[in-house]
Amino acid sequence: MVQRKGLCGGSADDPVMSVDLAFGDEELLPAVAQDADSGEVLMVAYVTREALERSRETGEAHYYSRSREELWHKGGSSGHIQRIEEIRVDCDGDAILYIVEQEGGACHTGYGSCFYRTIEGEVVGEAVFDPDAVYE
Amino acid sequence: MVQRKGLCGGSADDPVMSVDLAFGDEELLPAVAQDADSGEVLMVAYVTREALERSRETGEAHYYSRSREELWHKGGSSGHIQRIEEIRVDCDGDAILYIVEQEGGACHTGYGSCFYRTIEGEVVGEAVFDPDAVYE
């Protein structure tokens, strides 16, 4: 089930990327953002090919907003951008990992990470900014 | 867009879980597994409610295999189980984070993490076992 062809050769569909990506029918892949310094998992969102290409071109994380149905430059309005340190791809080419330097906090609730709660509802994350001061 | 109701109260649909989860039409959520010791992002897969409940009950990570269309006990055949240390939920209740103690390696290619390649195809991960010795 490993796409071994992806381990070596480039992809005719993706001249920019050397690894085959298994975009499904929705043309979206899940993307995890991880803090380069702390290793904290910051968020999970989705990328299109365009979002990935914009991330590589600009060095800042781009996603695709499924609710707004548009390319999403993370931090474009809040200033809480994510500077890309490295982009990784998983074995099957169907998930992306952005290793980033996070400006401010990743979560629009004011927490550093969107994963600030356990499944039991206990808050375990750290609040790093006041969302009312950032979002109108 | 934050489900603020989920921050405090329980969910009538989920007596076991205190946080509202936004399972979509497919009844699947992406789940990230992170190594509790190294902080390494190990893999991204998907969970159903049943997979989440089994993870909580057994203390070992369960997912839903989209290709096999069945509940998937990670490591059930290879022995490379993931002992759950904590399960977290993101702000919108639509992504899961398993913080785990990984037995062996997470990736069936033999690497410790499925994210062993950059998007340029460079191998940056560490091989931790011989897949031919584990999988028949």
Beta bridge partner(s), residue B41: B34
* Secondary structure (3-state) at B131: helix
> Side by side, which strands form the sheet with B96-102?
A117-118, B82-89, B96-102, B29-35, B41-47
Give the DSSP H/E element, type plus range, for residue A49: helix A49-58
pLDDT digits (tens, 9 = 90+) for A56-66: 999 999 999 99
Homologous superfamily of the B29-99 domain (CATH):
Phosphoribosyl-AMP cyclohydrolase (3.10.20.810)
pLDDT of residue B9 exceeding 80: no
Among all residues of chain B, which has the CA nearest to that of A111? B91
Domain ranges in chain B are: 29-99
> What's the pLDDT tens digit per position in B55-82?
999 999 999 999 999 999 999 999 999 9
Q: Record the pTM.
A: 0.89
> A74 CA to chain B: closest CA distance, Å?
16
Q: Is the dihedral of CA A106, A111, A116, A121 positive or negative?
A: negative
ipTM: 0.88
Chain B positions touching A32 (Cβ under 8 A) are 32, 41, 44
Instruction: Tell me the C-alpha distance between B44 and A71, whole Å.
Output: 22
Chain B residues in contact with A97 by the CB 8 A cut-off are 41, 115
Per-residue tokens: B13:
């649909």
Backbone angles phi, psi at B101, to 5 degrees: -105, 110
CA dihedral B89, B67, A67, A61 (to 10 degrees): 70
